[in-house]
Amino acid sequence: RCSVDNRVTRVAWLNRSSILYAGNDKWCLDPRVVLLANTKTQYSIQIHDVDVYDEGPYTCSVQTDNHPKT
């Protein structure tokens, strides 16, 4: 889950430098990864049937007024 506000212009979820989602667009091929919410306050994904290979850092990247943040 990633909390966002109305200043956010772009959002993305990444894992090990791979883009999982960019906005509403799914970039990964894994059918277990789904977008739960992309609203003014929340940007969330879910991974079904998690296993040990899913371990690692997941990063929510946002852009506000041309200033990226993670």
Stretches where the chain sits below pLDDT 50 are none
Burial (Cβ within 10 Å: 0-12, 13-18, ≥19) of residue 21: buried
Q: How many domains does the chain have?
A: 1
Residue 13 lies in a domain: yes
Task: Enumerate residues 6+ apart whose C-beta is below 8 A from 67.
Answer: none
Using CA atoms, how far residue 41 sits from 44, 55, 68, in Å, is 10, 26, 17
- CA angle in degrees (0–180, nearest 5) for 51-13-22: 130
Which pLDDT value is given to residue 64?
82
Look at residue 59 in the predicted model and tell me its pLDDT: 93
Would you say 20 and 11 are in contact if contact means Cβ atoms under 8 Å apart?
no
Q: Is residue 20 part of a domain?
A: yes
Residue 54 lies in a domain: yes
Q: In terms of residue numbers, what domain contains 12?
A: 2-64
